[in-house]
Chains A and B, each alone.
Chain A
């Protein structure tokens, strides 16, 4: 079973998968990352808020999220990504403290230690595709940030 964010956005409005609350919207830092602890994993969560004019209906669920194959955003255009906090190059748990950016159209996070870039959507390292961060499906449910435990659905 793939743990890609594509699955996440599909699952977000799918048949009520088992969800785990990680933190709240207030814990997030816009355009940046925070780290949550879950079952021995350190999960770095990056939050890219959408258009300010769409903020009013941000609690509404997307209706055709499956078509938004690339970016897991909700109706407000908010995007959440969850990747492993462990930097494979240094072995340190620092990915959540990296800078978010965009390279050749891909959203990436730059490791704060040696500056490699990891694609947010699938965790693949641009400089060394052998290295890949684990990713998790996450979504905003109201003011909760939830982990969609995809593997429990199978």
Chain B
């Protein structure tokens, strides 16, 4: 060895370069940071793509409305925050091992340690294609976002044709994903597989058959046992694929997904050891034939094997981070078990799925009617499970995986593990799992780690996920994680107390159901029947007031409701720090006439109010004293305003862009839709505030994807996004339904909002509610779009009742002297609150600070 590159020089930090910013490359950075290695190494990362690391596992979501940003991994500023230099769109062309430098078109970069995370590339078999085909639509691939953009463009170019068709060559995992992508682009999708069955690596013949039947039922053509001889110009479609058996298939575009090859060019050219069929040779510590260079992920060849899954790549990344931190945990291979949902079909493959172990015995359950298939492979002595194949129902997966991975003794009748459940199939309880059992294989979280998190005080699933990262990778372990978590809580005697407060041993949802089912219309009635103690408190009173309002929409200023409400609801204004209120008239959709602007200005001037434009496109008037509120509202109502409910846990605003009326890009009238939505849901009480937005085109100027309900215009109608949030915990809204017409959009929002109101916890925004919803977005879609609970009509009727009963609370209050008597600063004196003192700043009033009040007092007295 010419020099010791492993020890950082004493004066400068050692230089660590990572080539590749894919899933494994990014995970490696996270592991380096977790070990504080970013403080010991100057880290530079090169990514060939222009996007930062993104989730390739969920790539087909890109055609379901996800964009590059929502697929991106980690925070956008992850690298910047940790002093890691991220060079995207910069392709490394060579590695100079002599000078210890990597070389790109932009320059040379020295390194002390180098990590190759270059991944793989799709294998495109050398099949002759029409010479004049310049479009490349016969040789598309499916790996990167840019690839997907090309597929999208190719699909768009044939969209005008009658029954456009797309073919995927390769019936493996990625091939079926690609077929799903073609399907969501509106193409008739076909899969051509060389092997005699789909997913030949993971499934056996019967499993392949069951999967094929299910996929064909979805309208996807499946052609197995076909090798493509040539691609020529087609008659009805652009191309014709001629197969070696003499048959042919016409299509407008062809996506190749016939396997991957390790991206090992850089390693090969700089003389590192390369496997016979490709792949950078690594040892158990992920070190290549050059001790200063590591390789991880799909470019690495360990023990003669390439691992084409994310989890083994993550394990390698942890190994490397450990080695750099001098606590090396050797890589010892990886479990290739997979659980997937392909085209909506559950597919699972565990361990020795093909029963290659000597003497292995199989149990099979075949459901030809429902195209279900399950196989359990056990050892010759019948004591241990070796592997399994599942098609159609992955409900069995977690249990079987644990049997296989942890060598748990099988029950006397192993077949019971794959028989239809509901016949007393023994479910493997969480307590049967050893501490070392891997719950989340993406992030290597064991049962022990989950238990430890619980021991340290973690009592809800969301914080457990944040704490351990469990279930934040592929998400396949969600159900198992919950099971282990619940069991652990239970065994520790931690009853997860979901009581609203000491007066009601119910959750908000349970109270909601009681109120509706029993037709309860007052706090007293609910408290008498179902509560404890005498009075209630500041937790349960507003919560019940909100439930009553959501259910019956009685005016909020009803005398019986007033004592329940938070001060803001009681006085129908927002209390500020000095006890004054701010007033926000409703400005639907942010659209306002000059006359109304003048009216607001006149009121603000008359009452010396500080004015500010809000983020929700309206105007907030600050500094009104309690006794001034009725006068201010009398004038605002006279000018045509209604209350804006800025004080309530209720519909706030519907933000909009100007849309097709003015904007040269707009495709729909977003302002009109915003007005419709705001006028429909104004006054709606909910567990927490509700914000909406409508954008007139995909440029999304109204920022709809950060709202509880976001609507974005398309050429064919409206795309609906739900459960977004800005504020403290930003969350991208998720695409819920596409190309809705006006009526369907409103009906869908009706159902969505009412379902949220029914089931959310108190003060739970839609984003948190959604994250805690068992079954997630799919479940929500089933309930709202497919009406799986049969609730649709009821939810709509309930919403219509609330809409019909709307009245402006301020207009109602002004007519009622009983209600107005509350709006007195003092019941026995006309004076304003003498402690409210304002000073002028930037030509507007603001509350005086304590020291200013002190000095004012001095001036007055002197």
Contacts and interface: CB of A to CB of B under 8 A. Distances in A.
A108 B538 CA distance: 9
Interface stretch (B138-146, B571-579, B747-755): B571-579
Contacts, number: 103
Contacts of B831: 37
Given A34-B822, A92-B579, A98 B827 contact: no
B835 interface: yes
Interface in A79-127: 86, 90-94, 97-105, 107-108, 110, 112-113, 115, 117
Q: Which of A23, A31, A36, A98 has its CB near the most chain B CB atoms (within 10 A)? A: A31
B577 A99 contact: no
A83 B643 CA distance: 32
B579 A102 contact: no
A30 interface: yes
Nearest to A32: B563
Contacts of B536: 101-102
Contact of B566 (A90, A93, A112): A112
A100 B563 contact: yes
A99 B824 contact: no
A92 B577 CA distance: 7
A26 B826 CA distance: 14
Contacts of A90: 577-579
A145 to B, nearest CB: 9
B829 interface: yes
Given A29-B562, A32-B563, A42-B826, A102 B571 contact: no
Contact of A110 (B537, B570, B822, B850): B537
A64 interface: no
Interface residues of A, number: 37
Contact of B533 (A27, A32, A102): A102
Contacts of B826: 35-37, 42
Given A36-B826, A37-B826, A37-B828, A31 B563 contact: yes
A72 to B, nearest CB: 15
B216 interface: no
Contact of A97 (B502, B541, B571): B571
A22 interface: yes
Contacts of B577: 90, 92, 113
Given A23-B827, A93-B835, A112 B575 contact: yes
Contact of A27 (B502, B821, B825, B850): B821
Interface residue tally of chain B, by bracket? 35 or more
B541 A93 contact: no
A103 B502 contact: yes
B164 interface: no
Contacts of B571: 97
A99 B563 contact: yes
A97 B828 contact: no
Contacts of A32: 562-563, 570
B815 interface: no
B242 interface: no
B542 interface: yes
Given A29-B562, A29-B822, A34-B827, A102 B534 contact: yes
B575 A97 contact: yes
Given A23-B827, A37-B829, A99 B502 contact: no
A98 B538 contact: yes
Interface string A38-50: 1000100000100
B535 interface: yes
Contacts of A92: 577-579, 835
B642 to A, nearest CB: 24
Q: Nearest 4 pairs between A and B by C-beta? A: A101-B537, A31-B563, A92-B579, A112-B567
Interface of B: 502-503, 533-539, 541-542, 559, 562-568, 570-571, 575, 577-579, 626, 821-822, 824-829, 831, 833, 835-836, 850
Given A92-B835, A93-B836, 13 more contacts: A22-B828, A27-B827, A29-B821, A31-B535, A37-B828, A48-B535, A90-B578, A91-B578, A91-B835, A93-B835, A97-B626, A112-B567, A113-B579
